[in-house]
Chain A
């Protein structure tokens, strides 16, 4: 299975820019998607196919990358962005998720 590696945690101050990385163990073309999950809630789609903003998601969120290295960027970060962010690939079978990056605000 394709393993997706994410940093466990990040801490940033409101108003700053943050980049959350996701590295795949094998190429996934551009079939990388990003989700936000707040405690006690279901995941919410942010970005699909590497760089496409999902409906209703603020333009502060953006995605980039292809192949094996991908990045979710939030600029500027707001207090409400405290959450865990997961990447997911759907190029290789089965589709897999990263372990998540917990974003905390200082």
Chain B
């Protein structure tokens, strides 16, 4: 069955770089795209970045200068890097499979990232 699982550090110091990994199973990254979506505590959802099945990438323009999304198809992993972290980047980070129409049909359980010294 389709599964996505996020991994990464729970705590990151301000101004440092965050690296997150999404490991997928049950589908191929060359057939489906994967996005990252975050949710600050008690707040709504914010789309961050996407990598399409063909390998092209899209970023939220508000965060674009700080982001990099890539993939390793041999490992079925999607990688997200975000630099210059600030306290407002504290959030649950989800990876999700997205369909051509733009909706997210499967989500990982999320990984909580806290930015604090």
Q: Which residues of A contact B (CB under 8 A)?
A: 31, 33, 35, 41-45, 48-49, 54, 86, 88, 90-91, 93-100
Cβ contacts under 8 Å, A33 to chain B: 101-104
> What is the CA–CA distance of A33 and B100 in the complex, to the nearest angstrom?
13
CB of B45 within 8 A of CB of A43, answer yes
Q: Is the Cβ of B101 less than 8 Å from the Cβ of A90? A: yes
B interface residue numbers (CB < 8 A to A): 43-47, 58, 60-61, 94, 96, 99, 101-110
Question: In the complex the two chains form, what is the Cα distance from A35 to B39 in whole Å?
Answer: 14
Question: Contact: B110 with A99, CB < 8 Å?
Answer: no
Residue on A nearest B60 in the bound complex, by CB: A94
Residue of A nearest to B49 (CB): A94
Q: Which residues of B contact A93 (CB under 8 A)?
A: 58
In the bound complex, do residue A43 and residue B44 qualify as a contact, i.e. CB atoms below 8 Å apart?
A: no
- B94 to chain A: which residues have CB within 8 Å? 42-43
CB-based nearest B residue for A93: B58
* A48: contacting residue among B47, B58, B60, B103, CB under 8 A: B103
Taking the nearest CB of chain A, how far is it from the CB of B103, in angstroms?
4
Cβ–Cβ contact B101 & A99, under 8 A: no
Q: Are B103 and A97 in contact (CB-based, < 8 A)? A: no
Q: Which residue of B lies closest to A86 (CB)?
A: B45
User: B12 → chain A, closest Cβ, in Å?
Assistant: 21
- The answer to whether A97 touches B108, judged by C-beta atoms less than 8 angstroms apart, is no
Is there an interface contact between A43 and B104, defined as CB atoms closer than 8 Å?
A: yes
Contact flag A100-B44 (CB < 8 Å), given A42-B108, A42-B110, A94-B61: yes
Closest beta carbon of chain A to B46's beta carbon, Å: 7
Known A42-B110, A48-B99: A97·B104 in contact at CB below 8 Å: no
The distance in angstroms between the C-alpha atoms of A48 and B104, with both chains bound, is 9
Bound complex: CA A95 to CA B109 (Å): 21
B61 proximity list for chain A (CB < 8 A): 94
**Is B107 a contact of A42 with CB atoms below 8 Å?**
yes
- Are A45 and B44 touching (Cβ within 8 A)? no
Shortest Cβ gap from B27 to chain A (Å): 14
Q: Complex: how many Å from CA A45 to CA B46?
A: 16
